[in-house]
Amino acid sequence: MAIFIDSDTKVVVQGITGRDGSFHTREMMAYGTRVVAGVTPGKGSQTFEGPNGSSVPIFNGMDEAVRETGADTSVIYVPPRFAAGAILEAAESGVDLIVAITEGIPVLDMARAHAFARDRGVRVLGPNCPGLISPGKSKVGILPGQIVAEGPIGVVSRSGTLTYEAVFQLTTAGLGQTTCVGIGGDPLIGTNFISCLEAFEEDPETTAVVMIGEIGGTDEQEAATYVKENMSKPVVGFIAGQTAPPGRRMGHAGAIISGSSGTAEEKIRVFNENGISVAIRPADIVGLLKSRLA
Amino acid sequence: MDIHEYQAKERFRSVGIPVPPGRVVGTPEEAEVAAEEYGGTVVIKAQVHSGGRGKAGGVKLAKHAIEARDYASQILGMDINGFSVDKVLVTPAEDIDTEAYVGVLLDRKAQAATFMVSPEGGIDIEEVAHTSPNAIRKLSVDPRYGMLPHQAYWLASFLYDDPSLVNQARKIIAQLYDAFVSSGASMAEINPLITTPAGEVKAIDAKMSIDDSELFRRPEIAEMRDTSSEPPSETKAREAGLSYVKLEGDVGCCVNGAGLAMATMDLVKYYGGEPANFLDIGGSSNPDKVVAALEIITSDPKVKVILFNIFGGITRCDDVANGIIEAIENIDIELPIVIRLTGTNEDLALKILEDAGLSAYTSMDEVVEKAVELAGVA
């Protein structure tokens, strides 16, 4: 088992002919993801050449792509100025999951897009996220396939490369993963920590969860309360940004301490209070996990 | 991106919010001329991206033009919380009956623009929200429908009892939402919103932050950026497409990815050092970006050592290693450089670096410890 995506997931790539879209589509296909369609307006009826002689049909719009191929998941590599529109289109096309990789989408556009998707019962992951990977089954997004391994650990994170760092250490230590989910570094994201924790709690193959947060907002604090009240599985946490100054955006649009709220110190304290083992260094995650699983 | 009070007031005026006139000046003489023209008492207000201007002495009431010139000369050049004042706003002083607070920001939890209003003006809204939440009325605006008339009325009626004041405030609140959306703001604030003895409601202060992701489609707002209020290295970083924040330490950090960059800074601190900066070079192994990053880091005289922490995923470590070497060949760097590369093609990368005489590590802890040690020695 895994959460959100598995070997049956049928993916349509929005922005398949762009630089990032085409590169990562080939990466996904090489990993074994079932990419069934691509969408680029104006390039319908062309074909995308995948690895090893494989190919994917390109459509002008999402409606047609989903109707023709039965895709259930969309991944978006569309530039910021068109990305919110791509999410709206995907939300009406019949897919269940939209993975929005694009960084730099105007936040007010996302407020509308999230509301629109919510109304239609469609899950959005991101934006500004690396996507997700269920090792050995499927990857949707840009997470590097070679650093993951199949196993019992669920990973959920707001970051990209910091997630890779943690996952790589898990894999090296022999702790494979059910699914690794990057929920995104933007202030308004579609799938939060709690949604992922719920899914990991329900997934019979996941035995423990690693949750990687950062400064800004209160998502981690609410997730910590959820862990205490609803989770039977051990959770190990890490928070980035202990040295971040208040009021400054640390790369991610959502990584900002507003006033006195959203500090790493506060999040670490709430983690500790709610039974989440907090790794002070990324290198401590494996040790804590092993001790919680022992 | 923060904009100045006078710029936020321009945005407010353009949507119809009543804002007293004002003129931005850079010299005491210009302040005197402006005060002369307005006549009567004026307020001289420092234009800096910092709160607490009043407490710092950056806001003064001048009874006549000569006094305006004197205060302007005191305030110009003043340092307010690390920001140097090079412009003041001269604006006629208003007679104030009451002060209220009206603000709107993008609330992460509600995923919507959320208003907060309070009949107590001149306050720190975050503090009041914490200590006396009953003094605040809060409303999230559904992005699909915008601010509805009855919602603006509901907020306004929390501020005033008098129907004329409520009616004026209702309009201002709806207009503030327009200004917020049409500016691509992440925060807009009127603090205080005043009433005058003549029964008028006016915004005498204005604050606004713009969502950086909006700037590509709002060139008129992008132009408002005041690069004099940030370190030159931050201006250069933005122009190079790098995410950079200058800090006070001496370990220069160059990392791919924002989360890993923060974690690297934290680890520097953990091992007893102080990070000189946050810097995310992004997923690209483009040597130009590495060169720009190194130029920015080395332009900070405090930096004693340069630390690279690269996790190669899709990005290949050997590409990054080549980028680093090309960068070092192109700029003269005397500082020690320590590099950690791991992930895709790390073996190739380590060989490339070692051949060039650079120390290379695969563990994040090792490299950070080494960097802190070198910063201590240097």
The answer on A102 and A150 residing in a single domain is no
| Average pLDDT estimate for B305-331 | 85
* Structural domains of chain A, count: 2
The answer on A278 and A175 residing in a single domain is yes
| Average pLDDT estimate for B352-377 | 91
Distance from CA of A158 to the nearest CA of B (A): 8
Least CB–CB distance from B257: residue in A112, A116, A160:
A160
Between positions 133 and 192 of A, the ones with CB within 8 A of B are 142-144, 146-147, 157-165, 168, 185, 187-188
**A186 within a domain of the structure (yes/no):** yes
The answer on A225 and A148 residing in a single domain is yes
Confidence of residue B304 (pLDDT cuts 50, 70, 90): very high
Is A114 marked active-site?
Answer: no
Delimiting residues of CATH 3.30.470.20 domain(s) in chain B: 98-222
CB spacing of A161 vs B243 below 8 angstroms: no
The answer on A150 and A120 residing in a single domain is no
**A242 within a domain of the structure (yes/no):** yes
Distance CA B44, CA B85 (A): 12
DSSP category for residue A261: B
Beta bridge partners of A258: A261
Which residue has better confidence, B325 or A287?
A287
Show the domain range for A45. 10-125
Residues of B within 8 A of A218 (CB-CB) are 108-109
Which residue has better confidence, A80 or B319?
A80
DSSP category for residue A83: H
Residue B268 has pLDDT above 90, yes or no: yes
Least CB–CB distance from B344: residue in A146, A214, A254:
A146
Sign of the four-CA dihedral A89, A93, A96, A101: negative
Delimiting residues of CATH 3.40.50.261 domain(s) in chain B: 230-377
Q: At how many degrees (to 10) do helices B232-239 and B287-298 cross?
A: 180
Choose, out of A77, A165, A181, the residue to mutate when testing the contact with B (most B CBs < 10 Å): A165
The answer on A285 and A166 residing in a single domain is yes
pLDDT at B284: 60
Nearest-Å Rg of the Cα atoms of chain B is 25
pLDDT at B214: 96
Structural domain ending residue among the three candidates A125, A152, A177: A125
Distance from CA of B213 to the nearest CA of A (A): 5
Q: What separation in angstroms does the CA of B152 have from each of A29, A148, B121, B206?
A: 51, 51, 18, 19
Q: B143: cis peptide before it, omega within 30°?
A: no
Q: Does residue A210 sit at the B interface (CB-CB below 8 Å)? A: no
**A3 within a domain of the structure (yes/no):** no
The answer on A171 and A103 residing in a single domain is no
Confidence of residue B247 (pLDDT cuts 50, 70, 90): very high
The per-residue DSSP string of B258-290 comes to: HHHHHHHHHHHHHTT--B-EEEE--S---HHHH
Search chain B and give the residue with CA nearest A283: B365
**A132 within a domain of the structure (yes/no):** no
pLDDT at B285: 61
Which residue ranges in chain A fall short of pLDDT 70?
Answer: none
Distance CA A216, CA A219 (A): 8
pLDDT digits (tens, 9 = 90+) for B336-362: 999 999 877 888 888 999 898 887 888
**A216 within a domain of the structure (yes/no):** yes
The answer on A273 and A149 residing in a single domain is yes
The per-residue DSSP string of B105-128 comes to: EEETTTTEEEEEEESS-S--HHHH
Q: Does residue A250 sit at the B interface (CB-CB below 8 Å)? A: yes
Least CB–CB distance from A251: residue in B144, B269, B278:
B278
Judge contact between A158 and A180, C-beta under 8 A: no
Q: What separation in angstroms does the CA of B167 have from each of A19, A145, B171, B173, B271?
A: 53, 60, 7, 10, 59
Distance from CA of A94 to the nearest CA of B (A): 21
Least CB–CB distance from B265: residue in A185, A243, A281:
A243
* B257 torsion bin: left (phi>0), alpha (psi -120 to 50), beta (else): left
CB spacing of A165 vs B263 below 8 angstroms: yes
pLDDT at B126: 79
Q: Number of CB pairs < 8 Å for A and B?
A: 174
| Domain B98-222: assigned CATH number | 3.30.470.20
CATH 1.10.357.10 for domain B230-377: no
Mean pLDDT of chain B: 92
pLDDT at B283: 66
pLDDT at B378: 58
A111 CB-near residues (< 8 Å, 6+ apart): A188, B106, B111, B112, B113, B143
Delimiting residues of CATH 3.30.1490.20 domain(s) in chain B: 21-92
**A88 within a domain of the structure (yes/no):** yes
pLDDT at B182: 96
Distance from CA of B344 to the nearest CA of A (A): 8
| Average pLDDT estimate for B161-189 | 97
Question: What is the CATH number for A77?
Answer: 3.40.50.720
Judge contact between B314 and B261, C-beta under 8 A: no
pLDDT at B345: 80
Question: What is the CATH number for A233?
Answer: 3.40.50.261
Looking at CATH, the fold of the domain delimited by B21-92 is given as Dna Ligase; domain 1 (3.30.1490)
Look up the ipTM and state it: 0.94
Give start and end residues of each alpha helix (H) in chain B.
5-14, 28-38, 65-75, 125-131, 149-159, 163-183, 219-222, 232-239, 258-270, 287-298, 317-330, 346-355, 364-377
pLDDT digits (tens, 9 = 90+) for B117-160: 999 887 788 788 888 889 999 999 999 999 999 999 999 999 99
**A138 within a domain of the structure (yes/no):** no
**A70 within a domain of the structure (yes/no):** yes
Residue B201 has pLDDT above 90, yes or no: yes
pLDDT at B317: 83
Sign of the four-CA dihedral A89, A95, A97, A101: negative
